Chain A
Amino acid sequence: MSHPHVKRVIAMIKARLLEVVRDRSALAWNLLFAPLLVIGMATVFSSGPQTVAKVGVLGDAPLIPATSPFLATPAVEFYRETDAEKAIAKVQRQRIDLLLDLNSSPPRYWLNDESPKGRLLQQLLLAKQPDAAAQPVTGARIRYADWLVPGLLALNIMFSSLFAIGHVIVRYRKSGYLKRLNGTPLRAVEFISAQLIACLLLAVLVSAVIFAACNALLHLRMEGSYLTLLLVTTLGSMTMIAMSLLVSARISSEELSGGLLNLISWPMLVLSGVFFSLDGAPVFVQNLAAVFPLTHMLDAARAVMLDGAGIADIAKPLLILSGMTALFLALGAAMFRWTQD
């Protein structure tokens, strides 16, 4: 390895990887956290989301009984759907129990013949609106665990990327290690590149191990290509790492960096649809979720794993993640400081 820039980046990556691998407690926690969470959540919520029936409604009419007497059915959650194609796919995957189109007259509805709750809702609908026209679809139900695993993998990547990079750089700066490195020929861009690559390697590797462990335990649904999923994981990790580099670009207080990283991660955790679908959530919540990279990473990963989406199908979230990565990296590099201000 003769080129000095490459040599320095590789040396920095190697040193960082050695540090991570030898910090056995942190590494074990990273590897065990997600599988344990998957098992726990899948056990607790395996029947949770299905206990209340969920019906998507196409059309602009208000979701009140005056629009359709079926909308007065108790213990059923009605929410608005705007994209018929996507909504029908949800019926196929049994992510919702029934889809009702109030734009047509008589109203049409889609149900999955293999869904017991769908058939029950059909009886209730026909009792109130006998002229409703059935549009049957078929498809196996997606288990909660299948739906949850992409979320937890993305969550693990988010936490490990944000905190591994953010905390480490702030710690390096606070301890004076960055100052020492600044006294060598190492350039800021080389240091940042090395941190990004080291963290990316770890995030992807740890995600692969976790995925394999979850798959061995739960026999996960995988409709799409592993390579496409790897692309999503890599790009999503890069976005999170770049975001963390931006946060840690110049601060030297671990308390402040912890606060900022929590400020970023917790809204993503709650609003990006890791544990529960955002279908039916208020529009402003869905718009807010679109700001978070975790949302796009999750949408893409679930589309690949559950719907068999290819790269063209997930081009939009991939482009958004690429744009965010470029923006965060540019800002982070411009703001980076070796020492405390």
Chain B
Amino acid sequence: MSNVLSVRELQKHYPKVQAVNGVSFNVEEGTCLGLLGPNGAGKSTTVEMLEGLVKPTSGEILYRGKPLDADYHERVGMQFQNTALQDFLTVRENLEFFRSLYQHTLPLDELIHACRLEDFLDRDHRKLSGGQRQRMLLAIALVNNPDLVFLDEPTTGLDPQARRNFWELVRAVKARGTTVVLTTHYMDEAYLLSDDIAIMDQGKIVARGSPQNLLAEHFNDSVLELPANEVEGRSIDLPLVHREDRVEIFSKDVNGAVRKLLDAGLSLAHLKIRPRTLEDLFIQLTGKELRA
């Protein structure tokens, strides 16, 4: 597979901050790269440089082997976390407006159908629900039939159903062969949608690989979770990791760990046993918890 994007030693310095500090990676055609990182990790700046909106201090970004040029924005689409649009325009008018800005576009009907906009097409965009709005913004990101689309935290603030609906749309976009660069705070979203994940911290990529490979590389144990109040004051012969409202136990020998909990007189009614997740990896690598 060919690389749609190639990034080499990308750096961005602001007067008091080194936002991105030597980032290199490739994005292969037709894949989804999930870019994860805590606030201030440099992922937004990295994405804005990839989008051609911010000029790097140094380093190189190649689109299909060539530096970004004036036509780059004809070929890519983007959806920001908080995309503002012009007031008083309907969904249809916004789509028509953005279609007018590009030389090659998808037919309006195809966009409407692909992003399921039929029910609110003639509504003022300011009166849409969160999920409807994100679907409209995705449609705007796709008006030029891009071969590379950037989605910046597209489901932040959506309810679970709306998030799942949006994931289906992103899968459909991928199925068309479109390459996706996704930034998200949701580990489940990254796991489900990304073929490849890059975790950033302090301006650098600290881990890179497919979700499955990353977990296999970093973990060979499971997690036992108990409510914190059930563990309080008991003597347990296991290493405990205290979180806000729960206690986690990492163990390669789940049966042995369970026996020790029983020996300590704990009720196992609320015990949860789960495999390691991207969130565990994220916390291990960055020392920060993204979301409860």
Contact = CB atoms under 8 A, between A and B. Distances in A.
A60 to B, nearest CB: 59
Interface in A172-209: 172, 175-177, 179-186
A182 B101 contact: no
A41 to B, nearest CB: 33
Could you tell me the dominant secondary structure of chain A's interface residues? helix
Given A185-B74, A185-B102, A177 B53 contact: no
A184 B72 CA distance: 9
A22 interface: yes
Interface string B74-93: 10101010111111110001
Nearest to A9: B100
A11 B51 CA distance: 23
Contacts of A172: 84, 86
B86 A339 contact: no
B255 interface: no
Nearest to A187: B70
B91 to A, nearest CB: 13
B87 A176 contact: no
A333 to B, nearest CB: 17
B106 to A, nearest CB: 15
B100 A7 contact: yes
A19 B100 CA distance: 17
B82 to A, nearest CB: 6
A23 B87 contact: yes
B93 A15 contact: yes
A19 B101 contact: no
B86 A11 contact: no
B100 A183 contact: no
Contacts of A4: 103
B84 A177 contact: yes
A183 B51 contact: yes
B78 A19 contact: no
Could you tell me the dominant secondary structure of chain B's interface residues? loop
A47 B62 CA distance: 74
B73 interface: yes
A19 B73 contact: no
B101 A18 contact: no
B25 interface: no
A10 B100 CA distance: 9
Contact of A8 (B52, B85, B100): B100
Contacts of A14: 97
A14 B86 CA distance: 11
A321 B74 CA distance: 38
Given A179-B53, A182-B53, A185-B73, A22 B80 contact: no
A30 B221 CA distance: 70
Kindly name the residue among B74, B97, B100, B102 whose own CB sees the greatest number of chain A CB atoms within 10 A. B100
Interface string A10-30: 110011101100110000000
Contacts of A175: 84
A190 to B, nearest CB: 9
A16 B85 CA distance: 11
A177 B86 contact: yes
Contacts of A183: 51-53, 73, 76, 78, 80
Interface in B26-70: 51-53, 70
Contacts of A338: 53
B82 A176 contact: yes
B85 A177 contact: yes
Interface of A: 4, 7-8, 10-11, 14-16, 18-19, 22-23, 172, 175-177, 179-186, 338-339
Given A15-B97, A185-B102, 13 more contacts: A11-B100, A19-B89, A23-B88, A177-B84, A179-B53, A179-B80, A180-B83, A182-B53, A183-B52, A183-B73, A185-B73, A185-B101, A338-B53
Interface of B: 51-53, 70-71, 73-74, 76, 78, 80, 82-89, 93, 97-98, 100-103
11 contacts: A10-B100, A16-B86, A19-B87, A19-B89, A22-B88, A23-B87, A184-B73, A185-B71, A185-B101, A185-B103, A338-B53
